[in-house]
Amino acid sequence: RGAFAKMGMCCCVFLCPPLSLVSGGLASVPACCLPKLPLHPAWIASALVLLGIGIGLYVDMTFKCRDATSYWLGTEPLDGTGVWINETVDVPYDTDVWWPSPGDPNYGYKLVNYTKVDLGYSDKMAWSLWPLDYEGTGCFSEGSGTASEQGMGVALLLALGLGPLFVSAVTRLVKACGG
């Protein structure tokens, strides 16, 4: 259930800006020596391919993040099953015990030997492309960190595509202004 997206959105959001700056800086080095290089179709095409792959993986990650927003609701006793005993009575450690909430008529007692009903999973949140919509979910900051590689990979691919495209745009702008 969304295990491949834990912390992925967080990694993507916070790694993409610095990686894009580094990528743009590194892409500008050859542009100083070979000013026509950033305008070459192969330069632009390779950057667009990397950017396209990054966008595709990002969209895939948003679906995984949406799936990670569903959580298990737990269990509850099946009505009419079990035995209510005083809460001070000791029971074996491996016995399932149901504690009623305050205000319940059975408050002060505990239920043992009951049949459990699985409540299933909560509804998933609505799908969104906006990364901050997943804030507070397992995909943003409350995740275990397992498989955050997709978020890091997305950030890297987006940066490797954006940096050279930015250098191409600046080169074209400088050339258009007579530089």
Q: Chain-wide mean pLDDT for the chain?
A: 87
Q: Please report where in the chains the tokens 């035995």 appear, as a residue.
A: 83
φ/ψ (deg, to 5) at 107:
-60, 135
Distance CA(73)–CA(85), nearest Å, equals 25
Distance CA(134)–CA(65), nearest Å, equals 7
Distance CA(90)–CA(87), nearest Å, equals 8
Higher pLDDT, 149 or 28: 28
Question: Per-residue pLDDT averaged across 95-124, rounded?
Answer: 92
Estimate to the nearest angstrom the gap between the alpha carbon of 138 and the chain centroid. Answer: 7
Say which amino acid occupies 51: L
Q: Give the pLDDT band of residue 143 (cuts 50, 70, 90).
A: low
User: What is the rounded end-to-end Cα distance, in angstroms, of the chain?
Assistant: 54
Q: Do residues 137 and 68 touch, judged by C-beta distance below 8 A? A: yes
pLDDT (0 to 100) of residue 146: 46
pLDDT (0 to 100) of residue 142: 58
Residue 147 is classified by DSSP as T
pLDDT (0 to 100) of residue 6: 62
pLDDT (0 to 100) of residue 112: 94
Distance CA(63)–CA(154), nearest Å, equals 14
pLDDT (0 to 100) of residue 158: 95
pLDDT (0 to 100) of residue 2: 46
- pLDDT higher than 90, residue 156: yes
Instruction: Write out the two tokens for 39.
Output: 């305008």
- pLDDT higher than 60, residue 24: yes
Inter-CA distances, 175 with 4, 36, 112, 118, Å: 44, 10, 80, 67
